[in-house]
Structures are given as structure tokens and as C-alpha cells.
């Protein structure tokens, strides 16, 4: 029987998020199955943690989350630490969103309710891909990744967008709880990603009771690391699986 790693995607992401990463992983390991878990709609973080508790095996699992999925995975780890053997968080710092971000989300949600969801805009796509890749507008790879982001957004649609913005914007700061845990936690992020609070992550490591928390930084500002840096991310995940 294969070992399993459970994958939680980010906001407005589906299994296409892993389309560049999984080939890199599956060609390197044959005894591991990577299981995508679609985030159910209209649930608070407490309800999402209970959903995971009901969905995952009772034995401790390897759990990986990207962005929003990274926060959900971290929240679950805080609620059910005995159910997580090891945790890998990509492009997320599990803390509260700042007031500017919360206000922006409220404005967006109000606009969607009034005018409908118009889909992800180019500015947001550029932020996800990072300044370096977004500036290379003529490259085929950049265009393909932008289309993947648009496709995920289109497939999930307005109902999913509204659900995620409404139910996952108010977030607890998990630093104190994570610092007390003993299971292995790895955070992987781009050092200039504006959507990750790097100072918060560094403070978490300093606050932790042991050496179980690892920070791995990659260069650049990309947020969508499973799409933009699949080879480098796969290398780190393979090392993580060996621990």
C-alpha cells in the first residue's frame, strides 16, 4: 500500500494547481500517492478542521497546504496535532489578515453581490506569478500559467469565490499554538511574496519550544509556487518526505 500525502489548495484553486508539481514528484517516488482535497464551500475554519478530521485517516498523516490551504492545514494541526505526522505549508503565514486586506475583501464581496463576479483580473494574476515572471510577457510558459490560473478561477466560479471570501477572511493568529507543537512543520515561500508575512514566520521560529519548525525561502516574489517553481518545490518536498 502506498503512503499518502494530502494536498489542500488555495483560494480559487482546484487540482490544476498541482499540474506542474505532481509530475516532478511522481517521477521521483513511486510509493507515495498525492491526494487532492477540494475545500468544501460555506464552512468556517472550525468546520473545515472538523471536515478534515472526518475525512483523513485516524493515523497521523502527511499534510501539505498552499496559501489558504496552508492556513487550513495549520489550523487543523492546532486543533488535532495527534492527527498530523508532518506539515508542509506553501506561501502562507498562518496569522490574521491585516485591516487593509480585510477592508479590500469586504469591498470586493459587496461588488460581487451587486454586480456579479467578473473573474480574476490581470493585476492579480501578475501578483500570483511574481514580478519576475510577469515582466516576461512574451514567454510561452508565463502565458500558459496565466491561462491555468484563469481556468481554475473560471471552473470554480462566483459561488466558490463568494464562499471563500466570506468564510475564510477572519483568521486567528496561530503563532502561540504552533510554537508549542512538537510535530515537524515546514514553511516554504518566496522571500518577496507580499502575501506572506515573513517577519511573523521568523518570530514563530524564535518562539517555538524546539527545532521542529523549518523555514525555506526561495528567491523572487511569486505566490503560485506550485506553478512557477515546480522543480525547486518538488526537491524540497522529497526531502521533507524523507524525514
Condensed to tens digits (0 to 9), the pLDDT of residues 194-203 reads: 999 999 999 9
Q: How far apart are CA 78 and CA 194, in angstroms?
A: 25
Please tell me whether residue 46 adopts helix, strand or coil conformation: helix
pLDDT score, position 131:
82
- Residue length, the chain? 243
pLDDT score, position 46:
98
Low-confidence stretches of the chain (pLDDT beneath 50):
none
Domain 3-97+167-242 superfamily per CATH: Alpha/Beta hydrolase fold, catalytic domain (3.40.50.1820)
Name residue 4's beta-bridge partners: 33
Cell matching residue 188: 516554504
Q: How many CA atoms lie within 13 A of 158 on its CB side?
A: 11
**Domain locations along the chain:** 3-97+167-242
N-term to C-term CA, the chain? 19
* Residue 234 neighbours by CB distance under 10 Å: 21
pLDDT score, position 142:
82
pLDDT score, position 139:
64
Amino acid at each position: 500500500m502506498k503512503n499518502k500525502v494530502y494536498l489542500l489548495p488555495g483560494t480559487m484553486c482546484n487540482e490544476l494547481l498541482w499540474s506542474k508539481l505532481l509530475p516532478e514528484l511522481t517521477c521521483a517516488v513511486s510509493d507515495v500517492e498525492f491526494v487532492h482535497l477540494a475545500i468544501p464551500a460555506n464552512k468556517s475554519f472550525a468546520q473545515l478542521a472538523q471536515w478534515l478530521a472526518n475525512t483523513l485517516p485516524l493515523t497521523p498523516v502527511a499534510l501539505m497546504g498552499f496559501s489558504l490551504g496552508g492556513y487550513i492545514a495549520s489550523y487543523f494541526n492546532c486543533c488535532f496535532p495527534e492527527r498530523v505526522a508532518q506539515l508542509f505549508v506553501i506561501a502562507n503565514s498562518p496569522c490574521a489578515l491585516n485591516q487593509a486586506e480585510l477592508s479590500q475583501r469586504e469591498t470586493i464581496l459587496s461588488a460581487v453581490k451587486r454586480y456579479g463576479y467578473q473573474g480574476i483580473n490581470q493585476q492579480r494574476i501578475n501578483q500570483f506569478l511574481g514580478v519576475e515572471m510577469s515582466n516576461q510577457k512574451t514567454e510561452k510558459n508565463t502565458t500558459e500559467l496565466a491561462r491555468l490560473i484563469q481556468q481554475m478561477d473560471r471552473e470554480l466560479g462566483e459561488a466558490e469565490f463568494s464562499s471563500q471570501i466570506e468564510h475564510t477572511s477572519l483568521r486567528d493568529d496561530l503563532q502561540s499554538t504552533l510554537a508549542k507543537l512538537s510535530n515537524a512543520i515546514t514553511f516554504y515561500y518566496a522571500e518577496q511574496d507580499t502575501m506572506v508575512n515573513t517577519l511573523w514566520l521568523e518570530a514563530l521560529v524564535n518562539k517555538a519550544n524546539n527545532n521542529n519548525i523549518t523555514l525555506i525561502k526561495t528567491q523572487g516574489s511569486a505566490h503560485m509556487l506550485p506553478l512557477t517553481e515546480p522543480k525547486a518545490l518538488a526537491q524540497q518536498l522529497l526531502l521533507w518526505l524523507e524525514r
